[in-house]
Amino acid sequence: MKILRKLLPVSLIAAGLLTACSPSEQSSQTPAPAADMNAAVVKKVAITSFVEHPALDLVRKGVIEELAEQGFKEGENLKVNFQSAQSNSGTAAQIAKQFVGSNPDVIIAIATPSAQAVAASTDSIPLVFAAVTDPVAAKLVPSWEASGTNVTGVSDLLPLEPQIDLMKKVVPNLKSVGYVYSPGEVNSTIVLEQLTELLKPQNIKVEAVPAQHTTDIPQATKSLKGKADLIYTSLDNNVVSAYESMYQAAKEAQIPLVASDTDSVPRGAVAALGVNYYDVGRETGKVTAEILNGTKPGDIKTRTMEKLDLHVSPNNAKAQGIELSAELVQSAQKVVEDAAK
């Protein structure tokens, strides 16, 4: 009996120790299940566009759809933040700073002013530009080769020689080309310089009219009446944003519009030879996916688009006082049947 009295406290202690480590408490101390440890990492991509118009909207659409094809899907493992500067440089700078503060994995900047704003705000967060005509002249990258910096992207640079050939097919006896542009957009001023240089030896004059704001576009267009045989429009963001009003002014002045943006044909141009901006977006999406998968932006050279599409509108041509040749219409990849409104 004496022995039992001595052993009893020991057994109670042992039972107490077992009770203290209950099954529920044991489970709380075990490592998290492997499935939680391997949960998908959500990548953050910020997209800014200088303005919203059909061409740039197609770039953004192409980016999102290419990223999905590359395995980065919104709502699953990708979060996208999009903001437009609405053609305001000050707003573009504010968006750039806001994006940098949120520290996304990649910032995509569509159009030159937005790309410049982001580049001025960060030298570390990967920046992928899109629809920038000359990123070297815009001081986004030092050359067309891999930059060695945080910047790369996709250019919409067009060879101007085919554009000039198209102008001559639209107006066979071409003597003067009108050019309405935004003096603050470096992509527009570069095209003006190159166009003037190429046309001068051909004795074709360039009549350039600056238009600082979208509201200036119609009057600038009308001012070319009697001075220009046609008006050539590059992807100047103010001009493209106001293309419907430009078409009305061109129709009144009876000056045909020739564009470098095929999406401008349904909006009033008689013909356009240009890149497909949805394809620009898809290529931008590929570059972005490479960076999200670990490639440094400075190791990716600036890409350009090789394929050009010709779109024409005989009805727009008629409304602007000319007739397109049957040969030109037959050579087009797309003939827009309905005239612009």
pLDDT tens per residue across span 226-242: 999 999 999 898 999 99
Q: For residue 39, what pLDDT is reported?
A: 53
- Report residue 3's pLDDT band, with 50, 70 and 90 as the boundaries: very low
Helix ranges, 226-313 (H): 237-241, 243-253, 277-292
Q: For residue 306, what pLDDT is reported?
A: 87
CATH classification for the domain delimited by 43-157+277-304, as one of 3.30.110.40, 3.40.50.2300, 3.10.20.90, 3.40.630.30: 3.40.50.2300
**Residue closest to 302 by CA, chosen among 323, 326, 280, 332:** 280
* Predicted TM-score (pTM) of this structure: 0.80
Calculate the average pLDDT of the chain.
Answer: 90
Query: Averaged over 99-117, what is the pLDDT?
Result: 97
Q: For residue 338, what pLDDT is reported?
A: 84
CATH classification for the domain delimited by 160-274+308-335, as one of 3.40.309.10, 3.40.50.2300, 3.30.465.10, 3.40.50.970: 3.40.50.2300
pLDDT over 80 (residue 264): yes
Pull the structure tokens for residue 61. Answer: 């659409």
CB 111 within 8 A of CB 50: yes
Residues contacting 184, CB < 8 A, separation 6+: 89, 113, 212
- Digit-coded pLDDT (tens) for 28-70: 444 444 444 445 799 999 999 999 988 999 999 999 999 999 9
What are the residue boundaries of the structural domains of the chain, listed by start? 43-157+277-304, 160-274+308-335
pLDDT over 50 (residue 302): yes
The two domains 43-157+277-304 and 160-274+308-335 share their CATH topology (first three levels equal): yes
Strand-pair partners of 107: 46, 127
